[in-house]
Structure 1
Amino acid sequence: MYIKKILVVIALIGLIVGGAFAYYVYQAVFSPNTKFETETALVYIPTNTNYDDLKKIITPFIEDIYSFDRIAKRKGYIDNIKAGRFILKKGLNNNDIVNVLRSKNTPVYVTFNNQERLENLAGRVAYQIEADSVSLIEAFKEEAFLEKNNFSLETALSMYVPNKYEFFWNTSATQFRDRMLKEYNRFWNDKRKSKAKTIGLTPIEVSTMAAIVQKETAKVDERPRVAGVYMNRHNNGWKLDADPTVIYALKKHKNDWDTVIKRVLYKDLKLDSPYNTYMYSTLPPGPIAMPDITSIDAVLNYEKHEYYFFVANVENMGYHKFAKTMAQHNRNKKQYINWINKQGINR
């Protein structure tokens, strides 16, 4: 009888211990373990993060880091940490958190446009993916890559077509660059290449011309007409006489890319630079900025007309007055000069 009581007590203790253990396991695995108040939280895990660093990163989002630690070890996560951008939902349990961090790297959308130089592009992209601006600019300017793909330092900017692209946050600099080459080749499909050939330009030359067009007018609907002016000059062997190229040449000459030049002076036109289209009749060595798709297509589909000149239209700001003859242009220009002098714009 005494032995039976002992066995009953032992059984009861076993049940209690087993129940307590089962409860603990349930709590550790299936109970909510987030401590942020928003519906979701973003967790960024850099490349080559070890488990100690991972715990530091995840701690601000976790209510009980010790229970998370136990589950992470049981699921083998500590030896298989993945870099990336992960979205945690409020109320997730440890099991779900580990599953998210292990297999649900969420892409980001990378956007860029209107960049003047590769350095500006690198800075812009570095805000959006893990790669820093130094590694990006090194990848952009890698000589072997440029030579292999028929680019130069002067033309490399044309390879990056402004748009919205999906990337994993932990994309490296070379991965980003290589993807952009694929996007460039996809953009320059047979149709666009055929149009470029028809107008007598290479894809890079189209981008070079498009950059000038974009700098001249922010009005998308006016770009084909402005492109037509420059194509008329180019096709007839004229110098392009484009103020934006002079501004770019001045910035490059002074190595001051932050300066703002609102007015090109006659003395500026004497700067000896291959980018100065008042001095040289050839196209600049490469784009003076990053043209967007509307500007590229404006050149490929430029308006056929007989205009050779244009100047800002002070009666319809943002647009331009176009002229077929120098006499007509000078009349339009006089109106613009009078207006700009009244504004006190000297530089």
Structure 2
Amino acid sequence: MPRRKKNNPKKKYWSVLLILLLLAAGYGGYFYYSRWLAPNISRAGKLYIPTGATYNQVLDSLKPFLKNRESFEWLARQKKYGARVKPGRYTLGLGESNSSVINRLRIGAQDEISIRIGNYASIFELAGKVGPFLETDSAGLVRAMTEAAFAKGYDTAALIFFYFPDTYHFHWNTSGQAFVDRMKQQFDQYWTEGRKQEAREHSMTPLEVTTLASIVQLESAKVDEQPRVAGLYLNRLKIGMKLDADPTVIFAMKKADGFQRKIHRVYYKNLAIESPYNTYKYKGLPPSPICMPNRSALEAVLHPAVHHFLYFVADPQRPGYHIYAATLKEQEKNAEQYREWLNRNNVQ
């Protein structure tokens, strides 16, 4: 009869211990994964954390995005997030983990927002366009622009002189003051001593260059034609001729109506509007820019095309361009053809 093997208590003990350790490791791994690495963002979106927000306010804002709030709070405690909440706009990706989100919030790695600033007619329009992208509102932006140290001595209408159209990158919590400082930096980078000297060579100040450039900008957005337009207006200024610029009349009409009006065509009756911006009534440049001109228009005024033209009218065959004339007789012929085109196409 074969002998029965004796049970080895030690072997049984180590087997049970190994199983327990494996179970503990498995649970620990699951615990770690569920709180650190598991997807916990249920939908993509933007998280806005206002300046001065508390940790509890952040949790309330996060609530609609979290599958498991408890696991987020646990890891936030482990990573000591909440002692210093950093404001900003943060993009949350579908399926992101707690660790990924908390790491960004801790270091304040917020979104960079691209804002395209166009050829606006006033700081009020500028503030109205930019305000929705930033934590500060349009009123705060206007206040910062009008209270800036460099704004002293300038009429409010002239303050667009300091702002350049371009695509800028801001953070959502950029303050009004920080916005103004950033824009003034661009202004100072452009208006070097060399460019100021170029302005003086035309007997103009930087403000006057910008004012004429704003007219050039609205007359033609075509970069290749802007130097020719600038040369024409400079020719008029040199001989004391009124600028007779339609964009200044349109500006005066819009200004009178609070810039709510859309104008596609200027009629003879409109040329009599009483306004210092009406260059059909008053010689010289308007009191201030009528829009924020692009750098190309500024460069066109500083480096104009040299020619003998004094008149021009829109070219219906090449939208955005013009037909030029040296004499009033030539201009009247070109203008009549343009009016006929407007009437045929029912442009009001």
Cα deviation code 1:208-238 (max 9, x no counterpart): 1111111112322111111111011112222
Structure 1 residue corresponding to 2:102, chosen from 98, 105, 109: 98
2:204 corresponds to: 201
Cα deviation code 1:55-100 (max 9, x no counterpart): 1222233221111112212322122111112244555432332111
Q: How does 1:1-347 map to 2 (within 5 A)?
A: 22-23=28-29, 25-36=31-42, 41-103=45-107, 104-142=109-147, 145-147=150-152, 151-255=154-258, 257-345=259-347, 347=348
Shift in alpha-carbon separation, 1:33–1:344, aligned structure 2, 3 A: closer
CA contact (8 A) 1:28 1:68 kept: no
Q: Secondary structure at the match of 2:283?
A: coil
Counterpart-to-counterpart distance in 1, 2:212 and 2:53: 45
**Greater shift after overlay, 71-80 or 153-162?**
71-80
Counterpart-to-counterpart distance in 2, 1:190 and 1:328: 41
- Give the Å deviation of 1:34: 2.6
CA contact (8 A) 1:238 1:281 kept: yes
- Give the Å deviation of 1:185: 0.6
Amino acid at match of 2:73: D
Counterpart-to-counterpart distance in 2, 1:86 and 1:253: 42
Shift in alpha-carbon separation, 1:199–1:70, aligned structure 2, 3 A: same
Q: Secondary structure at the match of 1:154?
A: helix
CA contact (8 A) 1:44 1:86 kept: yes
**Greater shift after overlay, 178-187 or 104-113?**
104-113
Cα deviation code 1:254-307 (max 9, x no counterpart): 33x121222222222222211011111121111111111111111111111100
Q: Which runs of 5+ in 1 are unaligned?
A: 1-7
Shift in alpha-carbon separation, 1:266–1:21, aligned structure 2, 3 A: same
Report % sequence identity.
38
Counterpart-to-counterpart distance in 2, 1:152 and 1:292: 21
Aligned residue-pair number: 334
After superposition, the CA RMSD in angstroms is 2.7
- Give the Å deviation of 1:36: 3.9
Shift in alpha-carbon separation, 1:94–1:343, aligned structure 2, 3 A: closer
Cα deviation code 1:100-138 (max 9, x no counterpart): 111122322222112122122112112322222121122
Counterpart-to-counterpart distance in 2, 1:211 and 1:111: 18
TM-score, normalised with respect to structure 1: 0.87
Counterpart-to-counterpart distance in 1, 2:256 and 2:37: 64
Q: Secondary structure at the match of 2:241?
A: coil
- Give the Å deviation of 1:243: 0.9
Counterpart-to-counterpart distance in 1, 2:225 and 2:84: 55
TM-score, normalised with respect to structure 2: 0.87
Q: Secondary structure at the match of 1:220?
A: coil
Q: Secondary structure at the match of 1:109?
A: strand
Q: Which runs of 5+ in 2 are unaligned?
A: 1-12
Counterpart-to-counterpart distance in 1, 2:143 and 2:111: 26
CA contact (8 A) 2:51 2:173 kept: yes
Counterpart-to-counterpart distance in 1, 2:338 and 2:97: 68
Q: Secondary structure at the match of 2:269?
A: helix
Counterpart-to-counterpart distance in 2, 1:99 and 1:189: 42
Q: Secondary structure at the match of 2:154?
A: coil
Counterpart-to-counterpart distance in 2, 1:143 and 1:224: 33
Amino acid at match of 1:273: S
- Give the Å deviation of 1:18: 6.6
- Give the Å deviation of 1:31: 2.8
CA contact (8 A) 2:41 2:92 kept: no
Q: Secondary structure at the match of 1:221?
A: coil
**Greater shift after overlay, 137-146 or 289-298?**
137-146
CA contact (8 A) 1:196 1:202 kept: yes
- Give the Å deviation of 1:339: 2.1
Amino acid at match of 1:308: L
**Greater shift after overlay, 319-328 or 55-64?**
55-64
